[in-house]
Amino acid sequence: MTTNGDGRPQSTTTPQGTTTPQSTTTPQSTPILDQAFDAGSLYTLRAAVAAHATQAGLAPDRADDLVIAVHELAANAVRHGAGHGRLRIWRSDQALRCEITDDGVPDAEDAKDAENAENAASEAQAPEWRTEPGHGLSLVRQVADHTSLSSGRDGTSATISFALAASGPPFRLDRHQADGCLVLTVTGPLDLASAAEFSRTIADLLNENENGSVKLILDLASLTGWDSVGLAALITAQQQVSATQGARMILAGLPAHLEQHLREANLNDRFTLADSPATAAKTI
């Protein structure tokens, strides 16, 4: 299956909910962190998340992403929700799962009079957290592996999941020609440590072929994951290719969990995806 994308800006509409995180391992019943927060305690919340994420085995760059995601969600609860809330983090063998909740709307008894109280009881709903690009939830969907969000009378609950890195091959780039296309195979993690090398390679490939069309296939079947820096490098590569006359780029063999991440982050329309390099070569 091939899905088309041309590097144009994504839609400004972000869905309210996304796929519930999938895990084959049940997390611990007791959270490794259970902490209330309000506007005055976001700093201490970030420090606690950073410490627990590192201790739980999350890679340093992904721990930074987790801190960013939790902060954005907690800030949403403070600014657009009840003004305070609670964070809980569970660890499984495969991932860290975080739940950020607020406390919903004030009780109807707090309304100024009986009529307002009746209206509040029948009409009040939990304030919705903002989801526009550039705001917290849009950013969270880009850095977290999975996200879900639900709102109701009792408040808003956001759940995010960050996979714990499994052992795998080191980062490596290999290139070869196939069916008139340049195939760049990416192995290992695309992250803070490897993003610069990836970006330099893409720039070199475009410079080497500046006088002719470039048909670039990124073979990502052996890509083990990315962090926010790695994903940004991939987006930048697409933008550079789109800005180069006669150049095209297709992502081939992207692992299912990373393709799902692109969909949840509303970024899939920025790329052209193909099941394999052979399929990409037929359509590029």
Q: Please, which pLDDT band fits residue 153 given cuts at 50, 70 and 90?
A: confident
The three-state secondary structure class of 258 is helix
Contact 107, 154 (CB under 8 A): no
Query: Which residues in 97-113 are b (16+ Cβ under 10 Å) and which e?
Result: bbbbbbbbbeebeebee
Q: Among the listed ranges 10-24, 32-46, 223-237, which one has the minimum average pLDDT value?
A: 10-24
The three-state secondary structure class of 282 is helix
Q: What is the pLDDT of residue 8?
A: 36
Selected residue with higher pLDDT from 173 and 264:
173
Element (H, E) at 271: none
List alpha helices for 161-222, DSSP H: 195-208
Residue 108 has pLDDT above 50, yes or no: no
* The model's pTM: 0.74
Contact 57, 164 (CB under 8 A): yes
Q: What is the pLDDT of residue 211?
A: 67
Enumerate domains of the chain plus CATH numbers: 21-163 (3.30.565.10), 172-283 (3.30.750.24)
Contact 15, 265 (CB under 8 A): no
DSSP assignments along 221-257, one per residue? TTEEEE-HHHHHHHHHHHHHHHTSTT-EEEEES--HH
Residue 157 has pLDDT above 70, yes or no: yes
Contact 266, 11 (CB under 8 A): yes
Residue 125 has pLDDT above 70, yes or no: no
Q: How far is CA 191 from CA 43, 100, 147, 170, in A?
A: 26, 26, 20, 11
State the average pLDDT over residues 17-36. 62
- pLDDT (tens digit, 9 = 90+) per residue, 171-223? 999 999 999 999 999 999 999 999 999 999 999 999 887 666 899 999 999 99
Q: How far is CA 5 from CA 2, 49, 167, 273, in A?
A: 10, 36, 32, 8
The amino acid that residue 91 corresponds to is R
- pLDDT (tens digit, 9 = 90+) per residue, 215-236? 999 999 999 999 999 999 999 9
* Contacts (Cβ under 8 Å, ≥6 apart) of 165: 57, 58, 59, 62, 189, 224, 225
Element (H, E) at 264: helix 256-264
Q: What is the pLDDT of residue 212?
A: 64
Nearest to 252 by CA among 203, 201, 186: 186
